[in-house]
Amino acid sequence: MQTPRIDNLQYANWSEKIFRQMRDGGLDAVHVTIAYHENFRETVLNVEAWNRWFQRFPDLIFQGRQASDIALAQASGRTAIFFGFQNPSPIEDDIGLVEVWHALGARFMQLTYNNQSLLATGCYEADDSGITRMGREVIAEMNRVGMVIDMSHSAERSTLEAMEVSARPIAITHANPAFWHPALRNKSDHVLRALGQSGGMLGFSMYPHHLKNGPDCTIDDFAEMIARTAEMIGAEHLGIGSDLCQDQPDSVVEWMRNGRWTRTRDYGEGSANAAGFPDQPGWFRDNRDFGGLAAALARAGFSDAETGGIMGGNWARFYAQSFGPMGG
């Protein structure tokens, strides 16, 4: 079996075109966001929308539920779609919904999306009080059922505490090292080292606000950053989480930032003068560009095995150890 190719974070304006581009790009699995601010019932509507996509395009995509679905995708020439949340809003204030969501296929859940949640502190808050009382309970429950804790949008202390509290390795599905580009969303050396030491995974983001020089970032600079991160924490903890938001209108990024928590307008990583989605770098427009990324990793000095791991093998291993019940 060839090493799989996996993108561990996308939130596109889904269409047949994009599913075909996934096939053209050789994606065996994609972790898709099905909730930013949606509550339980609203997220169920997003599941229903995905069920309709699965029914319409059974030759292109199917719902992934376990790591072995990656092999099924490879064998059948399709892309396995794994569900995840960028916010714990789908469990509302109800720990019992963690198990319910696992049954519905959710495999990743961020404990926060920028702001304070009931579970932890987001990276846009002024102060970070760490994992809350409910957060500790929910982490244990996620560990138990096999749902991955994702701290991509969380603040530093909360992220470190999540690794300590969690009995299973966690993920930062889409972010880059702050040593390369010091964005609020990128991660400190301390977080990256702790992540690697605890067996966690980092997915590199190609969202322009997370890139040095934004849309002008070069592919070789990006690959070189991955090489430096590999030296720091080991290539086996690295993968891709592109944060591709293909074909989304700017109204979507405004909603991502503002949800329904404010009556004023928050610009997040943008600004009043640049409120919309930033332009993607020319070397990563859509799913067909993953081949170019693999080539850049090779140029940066990675072996074939390392490149394969970063392009999907490491996520496949992590899926295998993460999606089943604890001890299972």
Positions that interact with a second copy (CB under 8 A)? 37, 39, 89, 92-96, 115-118, 121, 124-130, 132-135, 137, 140-141, 259-264, 266
Q: How far is the CB of 272 from a second copy (least distance, A)?
A: 18
Q: How far is the CB of 105 from a second copy (least distance, A)?
A: 21
In contact, 105 and 65? CB cutoff 8 Å: yes
Q: How far is the CB of 174 from a second copy (least distance, A)?
A: 21
In contact, 149 and 165? CB cutoff 8 Å: no
Nearer to a second copy, 214 or 259 (CB): 259
Nearer to a second copy, 87 or 314 (CB): 87
Q: Is 274 helix (H, G, I), strand (E, B) or coil?
A: strand
Q: How far is the CB of 132 from a second copy (least distance, A)?
A: 4
Nearer to a second copy, 117 or 287 (CB): 117
Q: How far is the CB of 234 from a second copy (least distance, A)?
A: 32
Nearer to a second copy, 214 or 268 (CB): 268
Distances (CA, A) of 249 to 21, 171, 172, 246: 19, 28, 26, 9
233-272: burial string, b at 16+ Cβ within 10 Å, e else: bebbbbbbbbbbbbebeeebbbebbbbeeeeeeeebbbee
State how far the Cα of 58 lies from the Cα of 137, in Å rounded to an integer. Answer: 38
Q: How far is the CB of 136 from a second copy (least distance, A)?
A: 9
* DSSP string across 183-238: -TTSB-HHHHHHHHHTT-EEEEP--GGGSTTGGG--HHHHHHHHHHHHHHH-GGGE
Longest dimension (CA), the chain: 52
Nearer to a second copy, 74 or 159 (CB): 159
Nearer to a second copy, 141 or 221 (CB): 141
Phi and psi at residue 217, to the nearest 5°? -55, 135
| Angle between helix 156-165 and 189-197 (nearest 10) | 10
Amino acid at the residue 98: V
Nearer to a second copy, 141 or 224 (CB): 141
State how far the Cα of 187 lies from the Cα of 189, in Å rounded to an integer. Answer: 7
Nearer to a second copy, 114 or 307 (CB): 114
Nearer to a second copy, 69 or 161 (CB): 161
Q: How far is the CB of 129 from a second copy (least distance, A)?
A: 4
Distances (CA, A) of 66 to 77, 107, 318, 324: 17, 9, 11, 7
* Residues β-bridged to residue 110: 150
